[in-house]
Structure 1
């Protein structure tokens, strides 16, 4: 990946293109060798033009700033528009990292990186790839949570597509307004359940933007193939509705048929515009919509829900890896979840399926090793009639228990997993209890951002007397306890 971006920093075939002699209508090959303009461009919004001069310096996809060579400055009419010095991409990266490290407030770093992405896309990704451990908590969790909360106030330049109820009946036209024709991945949210922060409405756009930055930096998907989208159907967040800087629809969140019709139109338009192979990732939808949308479209579109499926895959991998420290096979452990929403039930189901696969036991049986606690207490069979459909498989035979501590004492789990979105719910008493019958309790506090984590790394290590195997959704610094330094793991971001 590094060599690719070094190469992009030094040259790009589109920048060796002479706009005066070009036959733009015949198409032009981009830096990936793909035809980005075809014969139908005269009747579609995707008319391709090659930027030069002043406009080139304001095109984030091709702008290189001071990295433009002397030859490129002559070819693309940049003489006088840049200072005379040339600067390598490596030196640009060094300068920017020095600048970013001067900021003390994470949100300031986030804004600086956003400004860079809007100005010089290739330098942004080079910076992120080379400094991923340092910058990942800025580009995504936990900082992106604060960015979403304050999105209206820090909003400068739109990224991605906003599809609101105003565009109902015209969604395909809106998709055609996006300048890139070849889109491979769409991350879409309706903003109703952003991290553990609740309904942030239109301001949830920070999540698809941040997630797709990771698709490029960590997955190698080219930026032009990624499309962040926010479906704006209003918000029930009173504070946002009263905020003069809020950028979304000022109305209560629409539900029912009107909501379903807009999503139907969106899904149909996506397939019509980008083909059947485009991946649609549902991100941070509330429980009552997330499961329904996944079930509705999984047979007609290439879709997955990150909160239900993506989180589950990574957490299962983390649990399996931890078994080397904890000991025993997956089927020998007992799991207790705090949180029975998309993440909790998704993780639980994948663990049950994995145990079923390894032991050749029906999944209905392996589910009995997994217990879930929601806001009303332990999920048990006597509550089955009042449970949402996705919780019912976890309603086992047991007397009712209305709090986590008593559930821990009764179930005696070897693995405690938090996906509740409620901070500090793994109390000292809870961690001491789970540590009392486990030599090495596995504790996963997955909720984001950091303020919503069920416990901190320091609390887990201190209250377990250094015996816990701990991982979290948001990153925590290493902890020193009794002269030993513990480095917490980071499992997944919920």
Structure 2
């Protein structure tokens, strides 16, 4: 360990340098730690083992979430050593579904500061506030304004749990060095009156700012990031549709940025479709898609699917005609007068349909994709109608957390007589139907955004394009084995998430170099470039 470090209590409070009980006897003497720790040092491996025992004794995943949150603030190396020892086990704790409860209770369980909070009351000073972050050279910012957290709605500054959790997975699942990651919450107020009336609420006590003032605030934020961190990639997370779509449109060709709810969700859905087609034996160009939900997630998936179809020789118009969206007011058709601008390109020339099951019967889709955040809308009538039309119906209830899923795995498999090709946004346990055990896949964006981050980190990419998300989707599907498919699993098991991420990152990096979007010279071995950039959780000597 370098001698240019803090000592004593200050060292024990530095999350990046703290080793806790792993400080050796000589380090304790050198850095004034003698007497401040129990006398016998433990290895990193024994620290991980002790934490596993402690976690097993806790009664709920929220308690485990809080323990891990405290650990991250106290000892970052140990936090990532624990997560990376078994990413599949810890993903549901540090992210969905547990993070949803963490965000809902954020103000009541708040413990330690993490990330940056930029309130709209600081307009004109965002660069000054961002400069307070101690780590220079930030490469990744995940930012939210807290308005549409998962399927839970407006949680104000409580949405900070999302950027923190996403960036933890950047590292745990793809090896992005954590010192380059910064979670940010833009506080523009909240329209959640329960929060505004809660004396413990930690955000601005005002209604959400809209219109030109909001747009100017976003512009100032992006300008401040570019000025301080010119190589930084901005990931937009959990913004309301009417803000998410224009923000992405405004900046996607100007800075290195993407919206995970739109593009990441689209890519993981496309990956699931590629996996499903390996089971059904059909072509992408022959599919018809019906979405339950007409927001930015639905339009993002529909748009990426259409673009992927064009790579197989279809025109964009032909591809677009094979996707349909259904929202709270029915099928999106051209005669409707209530459509947002971003929805209009996806409206069909079709008579109105106000029942989803009737839309299934009229349009005869091969796949239904739920991004509505409304539970149980893929009911028995819907699943049975899909099963009458298709030998192997594709059923993707992608809304999360689990309480918002359009149907469960058991419902999809049982109501289809075991013929459904299923994936969901939240995890479900294996299901036995007619003597066969099916393993449900989870269409989790974790297959996409961490490797996207690693590819951008390694190549110093200037921009992120839709082509990169199609490449990522294909790369995820490449990691599904025949043994996986035999159980109905269309995504790689999360137990293999790290190896999958490195494969996907390599494919994305190849695309970045092919498009001349890298800021570094193309190496002979791109996989080796990725390997050389990986973070490994170990204590420095």
TM-score between both structures, scaled by the size of structure 2: 0.81
Q: Of 350, 359, 370, which aligns to 1:418?
A: 370
- Alignment correspondent of 2:67: 112
For the Cα contact (< 8 Å) 1:447–1:493, is it kept in 2?
A: no
Map Cα deviations across residues 52-102 of structure 1 (whole Å, 9 max, x no partner). Answer: 111111111111111111221122111111111111111111110111122
SS at structure 1 position matched to 2:172: helix
Equivalent positions of 1:281-430 (< 5 A) are 281-358=235-312, 360-383=313-336, 385-430=337-382
In structure 1, C-alpha distance between the alignment counterparts of 2:214 and 2:22, rounded to whole Å: 47
2:86 pairs, out of 121, 131, 145, with 131
**Matched residue, 1:25:** none
Deviations 1:420-447 (A, max 9, x none): 1111111111111111121111111111
Residues in 1 aligned to 2:3 and 2:135: alpha-carbon distance in whole angstroms:
22
Maintained 8 Å contact 2:320/2:346: yes
Aligned to 1:382, the other structure's residue is in SS state coil
Q: How far has the Cα of 1:286 moved from its partner? A: 0.5
1:326–1:442 CA contact under 8 A, matched in 2: no
Conservation of the 8 A alpha-carbon contact between 1:448 and 1:493: no
Question: Deviations 1:313-357 (Å, cap 9, x if unpaired)?
Answer: 121111101111122100111111001111111011111111111
**SS of structure 1 residue aligned to 2:335:** helix
- More deviation in 360-369 or 119-128? 360-369
For 2:385, the equivalent position in structure 1 comes to 433
Distance of 2:201 and 2:280 partners within structure 1? 48
Larger Rg: 1
Query: 2:430: which partner in 1?
Result: 478
Q: Is the 8 A contact 2:285 2:314 kept in 1?
A: no
**Is the contact between residue 141 and residue 493 of structure 1 (CA under 8 Å) also seen in structure 2?**
no
* Residue aligning to 1:31: none
Aligned partners of 2:90, 2:58: CA distance in 1, in Å?
A: 13
**Cα distance between partner residues in 2 of 1:343 and 1:493:** 12
- Matched positions, count: 446
Give the counterpart of 1:458 among 394, 410, 415: 410
Unaligned runs of 5+ in 1: 1-14, 20-49
Q: Secondary structure at the match of 2:342?
A: helix
Q: Is the 8 A contact 2:268 2:445 kept in 1?
A: no
Report the RMSD for the aligned CA atoms in angstroms. 1.2
**Bigger RCO of structures 1 and 2 (CA < 8 A, at least 6 apart):** 2
Shift of 1:481: 2.3
How far the C-alpha of 1:493 sits from its partner, in A, is 4.7
- Farther-moved stretch of structure 1 (347-356 vs 64-73): 64-73
Superposed displacement of residue 455, structure 1: 0.7
Gaps of 5+ in 2: 447-541
Counterparts of residues 183-222 of structure 1 (less than 5 Å): 183-222=138-177
Q: What residue in structure 1 maps to residue 47 of structure 2?
A: 92
**Aligned equivalents of 1:380, 1:165: Cα separation in 2:** 38
